[in-house]
Chain A
């Protein structure tokens, strides 16, 4: 079962340990990055890691508008511009395992070396229809 773990720049509920990263100490920043790397490496080891990427904070909305240049806007965001900061795709045996891993990722250390407790979005991938349905 594949799941997408989404980290948001904005739009998710506030983390418990909600201090912007540039207000951490350099050691805390390094510890956080090391935690993320170790997490991915460990999941590669268990065969549960599929892919992961970080995204730039800048995004725009585009749509088809007839021939010519498509219109581009800063987004139809209601109150806060909700943008994906990055994602990781995992392939795990159960929904419970996906939740457990997302929880673990959310516990990455932040300011004061304490877990950030940030919110991550967990979404299952749609799958192929089964060959045998009866």
Chain B
């Protein structure tokens, strides 16, 4: 049983059913039923045209569900022979599913869950495991999302930016359980990039590839965070880096800069440095300037302050930081880092301990606590 093939076909088949007039939730349920059937029937009798087979069976399941005489129909279907694989339109509706799943009426969390289910073809259980919530909870969240988009017309053109944001969220969730969400996000973004020619889709794909390439070096064997400067660069995946850089260069060549391309450019400059001290911080600051111009994002400004600290010295970094809101997430951690670079170990130690208390993740908190401990140990000597 080719599970990967089924996953790839899922969104296409849902798309076809929706275009034939099924509402989204019903189409999705029908396709899930058809997939169950496929798992049972295919190993003994693989179809010549898997997509045609799935469309035929899913459409029948859909009709089963909507017709009042569903049970009679069901009996007929069961005595019916193997469905004849008919020709299926070549047009790919997957793209429209992307837009539907990223509909603005959904919360980001629901959009992510729905995308993983409808476009990614993951089971509810897999998604629940990845988010560490009970399967029933995730099932409810997905049905709520389906109800929310039930009234949305399928032919509305969507906003690519929203789709990209949802895929970016999937990527950032990382992974747990048996589904690697970062890998899944890359697979879906590749699919999207193959379907539409858009510089920011390429930008996001490049960004994901470049970050994914560094993942093996980002954590130690005991799960602790390893900062960029201390990472073992020989553990970076050079094949993914090369691909990311290539995708990015093609996108940049179109001269329509967007935030994902700018972020990918920064990631590429990091990936390109053979050693941390050879990082081209001057160029990185320039890309952060672009990013700030494009997004006005306070987080981009904060990261820019770090880059300025590296390019022009800690004092300049602190001056850049002083213009920002101290309530920003990670502000205190950045301040601690820059103060240490500036030689003010006492302030840095105090700020690291303070940053640890407000850290949002356990790995980050442990990392910041270690930094405080390191400086305090140096001070007490």
Contact = CB atoms under 8 A, between A and B. Distances in A.
B125 interface: no
A37 B358 contact: no
A58 interface: yes
B370 A56 contact: no
Interface in A19-59: 20-26, 28-30, 33-34, 37, 54, 56-58
A37 B222 contact: yes
A26 to B, nearest CB: 5
Contacts of B357: 57
A3 B374 CA distance: 36
Contacts of B365: 54
A53 B93 CA distance: 42
Given A22-B353, A33-B366, A28 B373 contact: yes
A29 B376 contact: no
Given A54-B362, A58-B358, A22 B373 contact: yes
B377 interface: yes
Interface string B341-381: 00000000100110011101010011001101110110000
Contact of A29 (B223, B360, B366): B366
Residue among B353, B356, B369, B373 facing the most chain A CB atoms (10 A cut-off): B373
Residue among B223, B353, B369 facing the most chain A CB atoms (10 A cut-off): B369
Nearest to A53: B362
Contacts of A37: 222-223
Nearest to A51: B132
A50 to B, nearest CB: 14
Given A29-B366, A33-B366, A23 B222 contact: no
Given A33-B222, A34-B222, A37-B222, A22 B369 contact: yes
Contacts of A33: 222, 224, 366
Interface in B293-338: none
A22 B371 CA distance: 8
A30 to B, nearest CB: 7
Contact of B373 (A21, A57, A58): A21
Given A22-B353, A22-B356, A29 B222 contact: no
B142 to A, nearest CB: 24
A41 to B, nearest CB: 11
B376 A23 contact: yes
A25 B373 contact: yes
Interface in A80-98: none
B32 to A, nearest CB: 30
Contacts of A29: 366, 369-370, 373
Contacts of A23: 373, 376
A38 to B, nearest CB: 10
Nearest to A58: B358
Interface of A: 20-26, 28-30, 33-34, 37, 54, 56-58
Given A20-B353, A22-B369, 9 more contacts: A22-B349, A22-B352, A22-B372, A24-B377, A25-B373, A26-B377, A37-B222, A54-B362, A57-B358
11 contacts: A21-B369, A22-B349, A22-B356, A22-B372, A22-B376, A24-B373, A26-B377, A30-B222, A37-B223, A54-B362, A57-B358
Going nearest first, the 9 A-B pairs with the smallest beta carbon separation are: A22-B372, A22-B353, A25-B377, A26-B374, A26-B373, A26-B370, A29-B373, A54-B362, A24-B373
